[in-house]
Structure 1
């Protein structure tokens, strides 16, 4: 048995995983903090006489621009990650996030520089999107190529939990500022504080990443001169179409479940069921913490049970828990925390997704294949999911539940696909062994 692939995580593995998760959490915080202060940003960066609905639309259009910029930034950074090295792009992505975040906190408002204010905010937001497009796939590839093969699931699940922790950190910072500062102070200077914090912490994380090493997999490819000679993007389209489809399907599961259960649910609870904002946000914090735990648990299980079984069982649990949560929203507040916590835990099945995508592509084009599939699918499904759920609400109050159940079914089908592929691979191996 290969002791390299079966050994336990050592001190260097934990150091790599910790620094990757810390940097990823801070980058996700930088990317998401805009939405928590969208209202005040809209007031400051657009004309005062603009209709409120138009101001909201334009403010959230700036937020959405970050998602649209993800594929381009991710593909470019992945190309050089497959050609020049994982570590260089891993460090560059956090720098490209930290500097625009600092700049956003220092931007003059509309009263100071007019139309240039929202245009500069839009530019900074697009740079953020390009950075996050390289960070998330790069982090998964970087960590997966460092740890032993039999511990890849736990490492990817833990890293996904770290990325999600950035959302929780943004929520906590916004809550603290809004409870300690008056609305006037928030409008005057308070909204800038989280951007300055995010930028400074990002620079610190970049400094800490100096101590990381290039992945053993990439170093071996360099030594064997096995780096992709062709354009990596062309290679994945020519030879790995099935892997692209599978990865995009699983990214839909990952992105949309988090959007619906974690990001949209508090608003749905308040508007449809009359649940107080404070109570819904407290329950949301519980669900987010449970999501972090769920990602780590799913990663631990997948190393032992395999991706196919974990995905099928996890998606069944996701369907049951999410349906029960949305169905029980009119119940008692005590049950709200329990059911929302279980729903958040079940969404943790998304911790399996990065492992499947990392293994779907060969090392020479792994960064490009994962980055293209993940970022394009995230831009499409992350943006369209709120629109689809909102339109479905016109026909049924359980629209969010039906949407998540449909995703869970798609995830189970992906699990069947993986199970069938593993059976076929085992059969081919048996044939080759018998023939030899």
Structure 2
């Protein structure tokens, strides 16, 4: 498709594109995780006060889950337009919608001021933001994959994946600072609005370099070689020709979403249900684990390519299973070396860094964003809604439940690795149907 050789070196424009996407991705994850840290305070401001604390907690969690439910809708609908109108216009759309929804939330009156209208508007804005986020994540991988030479495809996608976890680290640090800088009363009164304002500003910052960002060369070439009367139909083509790719993509996304949800987001709360650890030490250990997960993402991206995906995925999944089981065994033994064990767990979980590069190659150019958005958001929606509740309930009775679940996911990774190891060469990434 594009004339540049797949063995070409990455140009300065390519590097700028990767940096642009990575910064935007880190900010996007921060935007989405605000509710995870402020769920109780936001719920208290937007729902009636004359209810028990447990209900307030459930309402806050519900606001977070609503974002997951909105993602498949936005990803599928807007992903289709990204395959028809272009990657760059859809990227601009997702950034602007996210920033606008965050700014509106920051200025929204509370329940005490507007009554039932306040929670209704907040939920609508949360749905809009979730829809924008649903198209942004797969679009970020596609945008990078279609700009860099093929030899950098895996490492480019791993940089994007790692940047999501940079967003998690920034979130941890920011909300630690916010909670130490303000009293509970100040946070409940006006402090909860600050993260929304900051997130809106950070979301718009990348647009300062927008004129240096170019449309995907794959998309441009695809439009140029098609006759003027050609009308693309991503849904029709996707479900007619790519059923197998959709299934494989959803299984691979199940691996990514499960590892991210459990190890990055839920693990501290799940461990707290059954183990007594020093909170400060454990909080630092979790952040260290995320740091090493970032390193792991880049490491797996560097060592993997389209010729050895299967082998690396199999070995990485085995290492993840072993370390996850060792981690929980260590917790039961006293957790004397929690820092080392968490760092190793994070690095092994970095196997997720290489998986998006596999999913990108499952779909032809003219249905790539639609296919990735469908797989990513449907699988993530299922995991994001069911796993927190199901795993939290199971952990109350079996302390090893998180380890057993990740071991199950790792076993799926081994099966997929063996499948790709025996699979002939991927179709060319510039293939069109």
TM-score (norm 1): 0.93
**Mapped contact 1:315–1:411 kept (Cα < 8 A):** yes
Partners of 2:61 and 2:396 in 1: CA distance: 22
Match of 1:343 among 311, 323, 345: 345
2:180 aligns to what? 179
1:400 aligns to what? 402
Residues 381-409 of structure 1: CA deviation (Å, up to 9, x unaligned): 22211223123325421000000000000
1:49 aligns to what? 50
1:272 aligns to what? 274
**Mapped contact 1:226–1:364 kept (Cα < 8 A):** no
Structure 1 residue 209 displacement after superposition: 3.0
Which structure is higher in helix share?
1
Asked whether 1:190 is paired with 2:188, we answer no
2:60 aligns to what? 59
**Mapped contact 1:287–1:342 kept (Cα < 8 A):** yes
Q: Equivalent residue of 2:24, what SS?
A: helix
2:225 aligns to what? 224
2:411 aligns to what? 409
TM-score (norm 2): 0.94
Q: Equivalent residue of 1:396, what SS?
A: coil
Aligned length: 424
Q: Equivalent residue of 2:192, what SS?
A: helix
1:320 aligns to what? 322
**Mapped contact 2:96–2:204 kept (Cα < 8 A):** yes
Partners of 1:33 and 1:397 in 2: CA distance: 28
Structure 1 residue 208 displacement after superposition: 2.6
Q: After superposition, where does 1:129-168 map in structure 2 within 5 Å?
A: 129-168=130-169
**Mapped contact 1:67–1:379 kept (Cα < 8 A):** yes
Q: Equivalent residue of 1:329, what SS?
A: helix
**Mapped contact 1:247–1:373 kept (Cα < 8 A):** yes
Q: After superposition, where does 1:202-221 map in structure 2 within 5 Å?
A: 202-221=203-222
* Contiguous gaps of at least 5 residues in structure 2: 428-433
Residues 326-376 of structure 1: CA deviation (Å, up to 9, x unaligned): 221144555101101111111110111110110000111111111111111
Partners of 1:106 and 1:10 in 2: CA distance: 42
Cα gap change, 1:421 to 1:226, in 2 (>3 Å): farther
Structure 1 residue 306 displacement after superposition: 2.1
1:368 aligns to what? 370
2:430 aligns to what? none
1:110 aligns to what? 111
Cα gap change, 1:337 to 1:305, in 2 (>3 Å): farther
1:431 aligns to what? none
Structure 1 residue 90 displacement after superposition: 1.0
Partners of 1:207 and 1:418 in 2: CA distance: 41
Q: Equivalent residue of 2:398, what SS?
A: coil
Partners of 2:355 and 2:140 in 1: CA distance: 14
Match of 1:377 among 368, 376, 379: 379
Q: Equivalent residue of 2:162, what SS?
A: helix
1:96 aligns to what? 97
Partners of 2:134 and 2:55 in 1: CA distance: 28
Partners of 2:353 and 2:426 in 1: CA distance: 25
Residues 243-270 of structure 1: CA deviation (Å, up to 9, x unaligned): 1111101111101111111211111232
Partners of 1:359 and 1:226 in 2: CA distance: 25
Runs of 4+ that moved beyond 4 A: 331-334
